[in-house]
Structure 1
């Protein structure tokens, strides 16, 4: 183990000062930073960075520059709130030499809550023993607290890194991260490697993310009073033919696609690495009407191995085939529209030095064996690898009920995350010899 004596000192410091980490996390949880309203939490991060003697760079995304990028799409929060009052925050810890540059990045946004489902206050962190409750404790303000605590402890011990370190808190990861991580890369913060403390459950580390497309299918009919239904054409009947074709496509894809990293930790995931789901069906607005139009809205997800154009073309071909042999559908073919979230899949070679270094330290810190996994959901690491060929991994706590009621994380898991990140930073960036 490289730098073992130094790492022992750092991990002991992280442990002894754990209440500072918990307090900082509580300050962030108290801010209701539902996606689109990140500023209140970003102000907490700015204050924290300044208290560490850093000079945070605070800026809002330039949507015109974003539009020039191949990954750009208009996120729902951008459409509703724009970017003018939604800053990203980056603080630079300058290295003393020419070692590799590392980014530690977390997202401030959280998903909405249904408060009636919660036994705890979602935006007021509550502690029960080792467990911390609140929206974002796991996904992923807890990760931000862990990496900030790690670097704060390194600075307390006067550890001088060879390479520069970027500390980031970004926007709208929950809807694709366009104004967040992608914007920081376009802005110029392009490191040699990146760690995002998403809740992957250290010592298990992320190596891949899924492709995701939202889509909308409109099936035309002809409305009529149900008492004279023979004058209409029931769009819902026609939509069900399309729906059955989608179910068959989903089954075929599940049978065909195998991506082992997606189910390394959860055997029940096998056979479900790809998914085609209709989550919303809208028909008529009155019981006595033959529906003249049906809109089905869904999500298509898939692991690395297929490009978006291939997956989208297969869905298009399925709709065309579903209309064949039906006189009405042949004359009124279903309309397919892709909209909203557009995440493309990515995979990082686990043999990359950053990933190997992170795994070595994760296993040393926890005393447990870890695995590289991922590919069943989208996340911000894709922006680094897919578009800038920068290796990135997820090193984060084990959290419970993220996106659900009573989301929580343990202090112990956050400390393991902080220790792993601190030790990985030492090895990857290098340290100045005393």
Structure 2
């Protein structure tokens, strides 16, 4: 494709800026918190259908996925199941024998605390080149960019030699097996894939963290508070376990480093791994010594350790504090692993799809790419770990992911769409 035609493609996407903003606003308006993805998926499916594409919509089947090494029962599956939570995919067939490519993104977002937001989190607010709203950056903005890239290629009549699939999936925020893994098992296995997670274009994501959730049930013995000598306070015992886990977190931080994570965010230096106790439940009455307390936590870590090694270290820390406590030695805590159970991944940055995406990202933005990742779990691991399909993250710039006043830079949405469209041309080739 000659340089003039590439410029025309970029200009077409620039002309669709307002359409991109409107689409993103419409997706935010659907409030697609994990478990309620269907309204947003209907927006995507309708948009693809209007292009005359054969839109594939399906609900995941946990029983068919259960034996896969990447599957686990997510918290969203436990709460909602997969009924009325569809994935969406549509493929524009290539006109030659070029390589296939999937552009993918998840439509689910995390909940909000409305009181923390300056404006309504479920209404797109545009200000100073930024679009604010829940999911604007993670990752409804990337999804909107994928759609615009797909449409611009179609509108200009650019026939790729290889198949190009647009895919939107569910429950990434809970771990993703009902989304990307389900799509892979359904047969959507391209030669390469790109997920438009917010990598901070021209930066590209090439790694994800391992993530696991755990629950520790700590026993005590109930009694009236006035006769506390007759009981054992489970919350106090839970505090003992917490301190042991906190000490483990400090030891792991002191020995574990991962340069790509720090390149992505310099503030992660010394914090590439993290063990967080995020919830505690214990007791039911101020005048009763509680007989049970439950800690729930998350441990995340960059590539370099297996899930089995990490589990063993957590288990050993709890076992050590148990053996050194007279009560706990006879009434040991129960440790349960639940929900998130993702292994880390790392992509070779010399892979061709990464090189092509990098060249286009740098051309479009005028910047220089930094490769980062490894601080959070994401869907790219399914492609890279289990199917040997290279898949980087190529997505927009923004801030406050999962927090109040989340935003995406509008210019970076346009640049993401341009980068993805040009990369599709270079990877799939142009039909004769």
CA offsets per residue over residues 157-213 of structure 1, 9 Å max, x none?
A: 111111101100111111011111110001110111111111111000000000111
Whether 1:70 aligns to 2:77 is no
* C-alpha displacement of 1:293: 1.5
1:24-423 pair list within 5 angstroms: 24-423=23-422
CA offsets per residue over residues 96-123 of structure 1, 9 Å max, x none?
A: 1111111101111111122222222222
Structure 2: how far apart are the matches of 1:249 and 1:24? 45
Structure 1: how far apart are the matches of 2:328 and 2:2? 68
* C-alpha displacement of 1:423: 1.0
Structure 1: how far apart are the matches of 2:273 and 2:138? 23
* C-alpha displacement of 1:324: 1.9
Structure 1: how far apart are the matches of 2:274 and 2:162? 41
Provide TM-score, normalisation by structure 1.
Answer: 0.97
* C-alpha displacement of 1:5: 2.9
* C-alpha displacement of 1:406: 2.3
- Comparing 42-51 with 122-131, greater Cα deviation is found at 122-131
Count how many residue pairs are aligned between Structure 1 and Structure 2: 432
* C-alpha displacement of 1:84: 2.1
Structure 2: how far apart are the matches of 1:297 and 1:129? 40
Structure 2: how far apart are the matches of 1:300 and 1:129? 37
SS in 2 for 1:26: helix
Provide TM-score, normalisation by structure 2.
Answer: 0.97
Q: Which runs of 5 or more structure 2 residues have no equivalent in the other structure?
A: none
CA offsets per residue over residues 355-412 of structure 1, 9 Å max, x none?
A: 1111111011100111110000001101111111111011111122222222221221
* C-alpha displacement of 1:92: 0.3
Structure 2: how far apart are the matches of 1:234 and 1:12? 67
Structure 2: how far apart are the matches of 1:240 and 1:294? 10
* C-alpha displacement of 1:13: 1.2
Structure 2: how far apart are the matches of 1:374 and 1:298? 22
* C-alpha displacement of 1:129: 4.5
* C-alpha displacement of 1:50: 1.6
* C-alpha displacement of 1:414: 0.2
- Is the CA contact (8 Å cut-off) linking 2:94 and 2:431 kept in structure 1? no
Structure 1: how far apart are the matches of 2:232 and 2:211? 33
Structure 2: how far apart are the matches of 1:369 and 1:41? 34
SS in 2 for 1:354: helix
Structure 2: how far apart are the matches of 1:129 and 1:260? 33
SS in 2 for 1:328: helix
- Is the CA contact (8 Å cut-off) linking 2:73 and 2:339 kept in structure 1? yes
SS in 2 for 1:264: helix
What is the root-mean-square deviation in Å for CA atoms of aligned residues?
1.4
Structure 1: how far apart are the matches of 2:236 and 2:129? 54
Structure 2: how far apart are the matches of 1:81 and 1:54? 30
* C-alpha displacement of 1:338: 0.5
Structure 2: how far apart are the matches of 1:170 and 1:265? 25
* C-alpha displacement of 1:432: 2.2
Structure 1: how far apart are the matches of 2:3 and 2:187? 34
Structure 1: how far apart are the matches of 2:267 and 2:24? 33
* C-alpha displacement of 1:133: 1.9
- Is the CA contact (8 Å cut-off) linking 2:303 and 2:374 kept in structure 1? yes
